[in-house]
């Protein structure tokens, strides 16, 4: 009975290990795509930025979802992250909102 349980346990983690490897390959591929896409002129720099951030978000989802196991976590963790997302989005929202009051043409050199 105990041996059966141990075998199931190992089988369960072997399945996880295979999944980690697929995620790893996807991350490597995503990195190469990010670099390649940055050299493609999509028409404006804004579009290039959007494409790069979209790919980076996909990679971040893979790391957070699978390596950090967020895809199947406890409610408590989702609760903590819910607050974090709320404040992070608020911070970025305030940043964008403040653009109208921003002193343009800051000297960079």
Using CA atoms, how far apart are residues 3 and 9, in angstroms rounded to an integer? 10
Residues binding other proteins: number (CB under 8 A): 55
Using CA atoms, how far apart are residues 57 and 70, in angstroms rounded to an integer? 15
Binding mask 48-77 for other proteins (x = CB under 8 A): xx--xx-xx--xx--xx--xx-----xxxx
- Residue 100 in contact with other proteins, rule: CB under 8 A: no
| Max Cα-Cα span within the chain | 72
Pick from 56, 68, 11: nearest CA to 30: 56
Q: Which is nearer to other proteins, 1 or 60 (CB)?
A: 60
DSSP at 44 = S
Report residue 62 as tokens.
């893979």
Please pick, from the candidates 44, 83, 97, 100, the single residue that binds other proteins as defined by CB under 8 A. Answer: 83
Using CA atoms, how far apart are residues 39 and 59, in angstroms rounded to an integer? 19
**Residues at the site binding other proteins, with contacts judged by CB under 8 A:** 9-10, 13-14, 16-17, 20-21, 23-24, 27-28, 31-32, 34-35, 38, 45, 48-49, 52-53, 55-56, 59-60, 63-64, 67-68, 74-77, 80-81, 83-84, 87-88, 91-92, 94-96, 98-99, 102-109
């Amino acid at each position: 009975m105990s041996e059966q349980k141990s075998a199931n346990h190992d089988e369960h983690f072997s399945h996880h290990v295979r999944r980690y490897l697929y995620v790893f390959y996807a991350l490597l591929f995503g990195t190469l795509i990010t670099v390649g896409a940055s050299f493609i002129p999509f028409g404006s720099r804004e579009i290039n930025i959007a494409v790069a951030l979209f790919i980076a978000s996909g990679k971040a989802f893979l790391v957070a979802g699978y390596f950090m196991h967020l895809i199947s976590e406890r409610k408590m963790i989702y609760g903590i992250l819910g607050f974090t997302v709320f404040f992070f989005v608020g911070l970025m929202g305030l940043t964008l909102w403040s653009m109208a009051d921003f002193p343009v043409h800051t000297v960079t050199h």
